């Protein structure tokens, strides 16, 4: 048996060195050595905090990095204070250009937990089932002596709703408080376990928030369960994932958060109602146009504030247990929310408000506090980077990057050419693919000409810079990177004729 394992490991190493990228190769390389090992002395805990549909501008630490007109997108002074999330950034690293690998719930979560692109995970769109033969963060850490637990929204187990402790669990050992899907607002503990406490007139689980308090409201309830679980079995390091269903809609929150921001005068974003400018074909026309409602922003801010207060409780619990300095804390979201930018709510497109996500990492043993990492990061990079920070060795071939050394060493490592992230629309049919560097975003779609956004010249993303003077080099660089990504990942979206033609057009440009 030992000899067989040694041969298998050798084959994996050879395949990795040869750049095996076929679908079969990814499956083979994804398999890890399943022999359990004891954690190394001083192995860090990992706390992964995931929010849902979270606009990055609602965090104070991101507003500090932006000019006022970008930081206060919904009018002067229309901000929510987030001191506890800001603390993670202040004592750790803020990634200012982090992006959802596919800006919809399930495909991004699949990429985040496996380090693979969505089309390799079995979950290219919502409500599908995570493949059992791909690596996951908990599977790898289980084999290194960690105890692993997940609390909150999972959304990788198929159609079950809420489906507590779903059958498809990604390898988490503790899943009592994992539910498959839904944006529930009120929970309770019943004789047979957790349940949705709000019911409709048919007795079915409901998204209603009526009567929710600091014990039953979803964000508070899930925080309590996470703290309880982290405090168990102190003889092993832990991976704790808490996945809040907020600030995803419906925009409702318990008192006093439901009225906390009613005094603010919310204004529609500058990009709202710009009928004088062309709309990209990949946006889907006017069918998703949203009528601006300031009271919805007030409630959205309330959900964010409740999350921040509960992140403070998580940090306080770790401090009380003398665990904070030995715990890697990473906070991110599965995608953003446009919050009326470009006349849209929610997500699903490559605009910043939809695709850009918060990403904060605190681990004083390796990461310098107060560092700003402005190079692109994808949520597909989360698992390999966490394993790198924890110094956990593994033989899983991941498509995401281990950025631990770059984050530790600062921005002097690497060149712009190898700091490009790739995004794609959620679904099984190609609509758009994108490549992003530290300034530009190139979007190729099935139903429009190429779009090039220049974040420095046009942070509102109102204009298409494709084919404009001075942009040829950026266009070709990103197109060449997309071509390499397509070949290596075998992304089926590049079989679309218009995407392929656009890619060839961009690569043929003479800088």
Q: In what order do the strands lie in the sheet with 147-153?
A: 178-179, 147-153, 238-243, 45-51, 327-333, 359-362, 93-95, 371-373
User: Counting Cβ atoms within 10 Å, is residue 505 exposed (0-12), middle (13-18) or buried (19+)?
Assistant: middle
CA within 13 Å, CB half, 349: 20
Phi and psi torsions of 86, nearest 5°: -60, -30
* pLDDT attached to residue 289: 83
Q: Do the bridges between strand 421-424 and strand 377-378 make them parallel or antiparallel, or are there none, so unpaired?
A: unpaired
**Token pair of 92 as six digits:** 């750790």
Mean pLDDT by 10 residues, the chain (511 residues): 37 43 46 46 94 98 96 97 98 97 98 98 98 97 97 98 98 98 98 96 95 98 98 92 98 98 97 92 76 97 98 98 97 98 96 98 95 96 98 94 89 58 97 97 97 97 97 97 97 98 97 84
Q: What is the DSSP string of 61-92?
A: HHHTTS-HHHHTTTSTT-----HHHHHHHHTS
Q: Position of tokens 């704790």? A: 240
* pLDDT attached to residue 27: 44
**43-416 adopts what CATH topology?**
Alkaline Phosphatase, subunit A (3.40.720)
Phi and psi torsions of 189, nearest 5°: -95, 120
| CATH 3.30.1120.10 domain position(s) in the chain | 429-507
**Token pair of 35 as six digits:** 């022999």
Query: Distance between terminal CA atoms of the chain?
Result: 56
User: Counting Cβ atoms within 10 Å, is residue 426 exposed (0-12), middle (13-18) or buried (19+)?
Assistant: buried
Segment holding 382, helix H or strand E: helix 382-389
The answer to whether the beta carbons of residues 97 and 356 sit under 8 Å apart is yes
Q: Which residues contact 428 (CB under 8 A, 6 or more apart)?
A: 124, 125
Instruction: Give the chain's count of helices (H) and strands (E).
Output: 14, 17
Q: What is the DSSP string of 79-134?
A: ----HHHHHHHHTSEEETTEE-SSSSHHHHHHHHHHSS-GGGTT-SSTT-B--TTS
R_g over Cα of the chain = 22
Taking the C-alpha atoms of residue 84 and residue 91, their distance in angstroms, rounded to an integer, is 11
Q: What is the DSSP string of 208-269?
A: --TT--TTTBHHHHHHHHHHHHHTS-TTS-EEEEEE--TTSSS----TTTTTTTTTS-----
Q: Which of 43, 39, 19 is nearest to 29 (CA)?
A: 19
The answer to whether the beta carbons of residues 342 and 277 sit under 8 Å apart is no
Taking the C-alpha atoms of residue 106 and residue 161, their distance in angstroms, rounded to an integer, is 14
| CATH 3.40.720.10 domain position(s) in the chain | 43-416
* pLDDT attached to residue 17: 44
CATH classification (class only), 429-507: alpha beta
Taking the C-alpha atoms of residue 325 and residue 204, their distance in angstroms, rounded to an integer, is 43
Residues paired with residue 441 on neighbouring β-strands, in sequence order: 436, 453
Count of residues in the chain: 511
């Amino acid at each position: 048996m030992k000899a067989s394992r040694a041969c298998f490991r050798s084959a994996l190493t050879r395949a990795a060195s040869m750049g095996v990228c076929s679908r079969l190769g990814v499956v083979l390389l994804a398999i890890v050595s399943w022999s359990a090992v004891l954690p190394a002395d001083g192995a860090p805990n990992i706390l992964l905090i995931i929010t849902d549909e979270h606009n990055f501008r609602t965090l104070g630490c991101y507003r500090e990095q932006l000019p006022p007109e970008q930081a206060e997108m919904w009018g002067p002074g229309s901000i929510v204070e987030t001191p506890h999330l800001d603390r993670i950034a202040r004592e750790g690293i803020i990634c200012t250009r982090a992006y959802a690998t596919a800006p919809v719930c399930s495909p991004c979560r699949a990429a985040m937990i496996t380090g693979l692109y969505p089309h390799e995970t079995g979950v290219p769109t919502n409500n599908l089932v995570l493949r059992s033969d791909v690596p996951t963060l908990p599977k790898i850490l289980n084999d290194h002596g960690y105890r692993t637990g997940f609390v909150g929204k999972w959304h990788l187990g198929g159609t079950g709703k809420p489906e507590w402790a779903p059958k498809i669990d990604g390898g988490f050992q503790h899943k009592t408080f994992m539910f498959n899907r839904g944006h529930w607002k009120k929970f309770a503990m019943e004789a047979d376990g957790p349940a949705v406490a709000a019911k409709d007139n048919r007795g079915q689980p409901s998204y209603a928030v009526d009567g929710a308090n600091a014990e039953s409201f979803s964000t508070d309830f899930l925080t309590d369960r996470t703290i309880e679980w982290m405090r168990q079995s102190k003889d092993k390091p832990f991976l704790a994932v808490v996945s809040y269903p907020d600030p995803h809609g419906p925009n409702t929150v318990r008192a006093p958060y439901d009225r906390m921001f009613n005094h603010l005068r919310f204004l529609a974003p500058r990009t709202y109602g710009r009928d004088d400018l062309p709309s990209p074909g990949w946006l889907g026309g006017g069918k998703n146009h949203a009528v601006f409602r300031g009271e919805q922003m007030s409630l959205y801010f309330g959900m964010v504030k409740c999350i921040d207060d509960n992140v403070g409780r998580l940090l306080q619990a770790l401090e009380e247990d003398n665990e904070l300095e030995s715990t890697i804390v990473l906070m991110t979201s599965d995608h953003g929310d446009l919050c009326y930018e470009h006349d849209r709510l929610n997500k699903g497109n490559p605009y910043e408000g939809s695709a850009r996500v918060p990403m904060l990492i605190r681990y004083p043993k390796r990461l310098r506090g107060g560092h700003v990492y402005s190079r692109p990061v994808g949520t597909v990079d989360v698992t390999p980077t966490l394993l790198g920070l924890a110094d956990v060795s593994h033989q899983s071939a991941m498509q995401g990057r281990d950025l631990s050394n770059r984050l530790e060493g600062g921005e002097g490592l690497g060149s712009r050419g190898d700091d490009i992230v790739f995004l794609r629309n959620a679904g099984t049919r190609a609509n758009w693919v994108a490549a992003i560097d530290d300034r530009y975003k190139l979007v190729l779609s099935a139903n429009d000409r190429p779009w090039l956004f220049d974040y420095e010249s046009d942070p509102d993303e109102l204009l298409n810079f494709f084919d404009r003077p001075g942009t040829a080099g950026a266009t070709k660089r990103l197109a060449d990177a997309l071509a390499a990504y397509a070949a290596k990942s075998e992304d089926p979206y590049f079989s679309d004729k218009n995407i392929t033609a656009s890619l060839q057009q961009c690569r043929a440009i003479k800088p």
